[in-house]
Structure 1
């Protein structure tokens, strides 16, 4: 399901036949409508490691909903996304259920939702939550060439989906709040991962 969300949100699924000539809702809207109907409480959309928590999967769905809300003027999708964030981000800006000492790059993914919420509301809680996630990256264990471990419990392991989880967040945070030198570190994450993880024989 999350892969379908990603493809639809980023425009990688062809439009429904005849959609341009009719008023029918897009597949993205239908998927969103079904999600909201079947899971009315966003924070209970999916468990992670056996419990409801701040998780990358709901962050992926939330980002898709946010982009659909902008594209199709669907405020219900936006409210749903925000309700997920607000369930976990407390009055002091701390992200509930987030365990920084796990150094889990998956935890960074939902942080992408905090940028538009900060822009739209100016609520300082969202900036505090952004800073909290950025602090995790400050202390995230790295390989000898400077690439982030995927998780503390997976020592020395570099996963490609870790780049998806952290790099867009890391880059946007650096572009907005600095330091600008961090953008070079983002590039290094990709460069070193490509050098070491790509098989030159297969291209994979």
Structure 2
């Protein structure tokens, strides 16, 4: 098991390895190791002073891979999961192995949902997101964006026509949906 001080057994004995690999184990003899005076090796453990590291307390349940029995002894708590994006991420960890594509696609979806939630929340503040300045569109015109793109032979020139669509497309689509929604509300109120 991970995080325990016991060393896993070798698949081959030292003699088998020495016979198969020239020079294997030359530092096994403590007299041949320059670091031996500094080492204080404990025979019962592999140098660890614990049987299992002290577990960081969980104030709220943390997500972890289904391949592991528990969370790591120390884990981050800076960004706890919240809202719809948190539910999507919890589902990715609870249901799918890290080896499955669905796990990673759900994590990406959770990230996108969180980003759009942040964009929408910014409109309720005094300083909402500005897609022109914060996505780098303005820098394309003020910092020689076109010249840098058309200069030397760049490997990413193939997708340059798609960049405005990828960056501005979601904002244009959101503005279009908002316009359609406002029009429908106005029509409904006039009736």
TM-score by length of 1: 0.23
- TM-score, normalised with respect to structure 2: 0.24
Larger Rg, first or second structure (1 or 2): 2
Could you say which structure has the higher helix fraction? 1
